[in-house]
Amino acid sequence: MEQEKSSKSSNGAKKIILSGIQPTGTFTLGNYLGAVRNWQKMQEAYACYYFIADLHSLTVHIEPAKRRAQTREAFALLLACGIDTERSLVFVQSHNRCHAEMGWIMDCCSPFGELSRMTQFKDKSEKHPDNINAGLFTYPALMAGDILLYQADYVPVGEDQTQHLEFTRDVATRFNHTYGETFKLPEGYFPKAGARVMSLQDPTSKMSKSDENPKATISILDEEKAILKKFKSAVTDSEACVCFRADKPGVSNLMTIYSAVTGKTMETIETEFAGKGYGDFKAAVGEAVAEELRPIRENYARLMDDRAYLEAEMKKGAERAECIARRTLAKVKKRVGLLLD
């Protein structure tokens, strides 16, 4: 659902939007159309802060070299998708030590009962029963610290994260009541509904990078041939009619993707492919997606070839982030009675 949000504060300054992504592999077409593409557009109206949440990724075991590589790749991918470091703040979470300090203070302000009711902890514990660690349990407290450090006005949230935002607001409210007004209460940002992209092989399930069927998911770094091949094998039905209906999930999913990429309405798409077979339709969707993703793939390759530039941008982002966060952290430490160095 689209929710209009004011982009300016009363003093005329741009309001702050903050969002973090874990370095857990390449974005899918679903991630891109549903969220990342909106991030690029939000740079015009808001002060956007984007970070790679590598500290959060520690709750799952990954080979150290792979984690480092994925962090660098995720940073490059944000830039390749159009996030401009001159207009937005882009940084790696662990490069700003304020996050770890703030995370511990938020841990100490988070009741055990509230943390134990977080549904994501229960879900992830079931998926990784051999690695139910304390970090997984206190994950929402670190997330609260991430948000409150920058006095964010808005946080883009999906259906699975609204509980975490409410937790953040509760922690901030409790802190303000106990120690005095310190934190701004962040609101959820629900941008104009991005495309909800489903699996190409099981259109009743959301497209996921963890899908074991490689034909089900489009990575935004897939080569054009791979994209066309995956759409060619996408599940549809036997009716051979391009129309958007609840009983045609496969075709409806392809129409959603085509609409998101081209800007065409469902009615226009139905007219365009009236009397044509699914082969023509799938080819058109594949070509449109390949063209949309081509500049991202090319930008990413260029960025990954220039490691010195990437590291310079990471350093610049970390310095800016720490300068902003340190002001809030100093105030928080003073409020709770810690001696300032």
Measuring CA to CA, how many Å separate 285 from each of 50, 161, 215?
A: 30, 31, 15
15 is catalytic: no
Is 229 a residue of the active site? Answer: no
* Tokens encoding 182: 């310190």
Active-site annotation holds for 124: yes
Q: Which distant-in-sequence residues (6+ apart) come within 8 Å of 59 by Cβ?
A: 124, 131, 133, 135, 136, 139
CA distance 45 to 8: 8
Any idea how long the chain is? Answer: 341
Choose the catalytic residue: 206, 232, 331, 333: 206
Amino acid found at 247: D
Q: Which residues make Cβ contacts (< 8 Å) with residue 292, sequence separation at least 6?
A: 261
Alpha carbons within 13 A on the beta-carbon side of 65: 0
Contacting residues for 30 by C-beta, under 8 A, at least 6 apart: 195, 196, 197, 198, 206, 207, 208
Taking each continuous run of H as one helix and of E as one strand, the counts in the chain are 13, 5
Task: Label residues 171-185 b or e (16+ Cβ within 10 Å = b).
Answer: bbeebeeebeebbbe
Supply φ then ψ for residue 118, to 5 degrees. Answer: -70, 120
Q: Determine how β-strand 154-156 pairs with β-strand 89-92.
A: unpaired
Question: In Å, how far are 70, 147, 152, 341 from 54, measured between CA atoms?
Answer: 9, 15, 20, 27
- The one catalytic residue in 15, 124, 248, 282 is 124
Catalytic residue, candidates 41, 66, 209, 276: 209
Burial of 331 (0-12, 13-18, 19+ CB in 10 A): middle
Residue 236 near residue 278, CB atoms below 8 Å: yes
| Angstrom distance (rounded) from CA 321 to CA 65 | 25
User: What amino acid positions are annotated as catalytic residues?
Assistant: 124, 206, 209
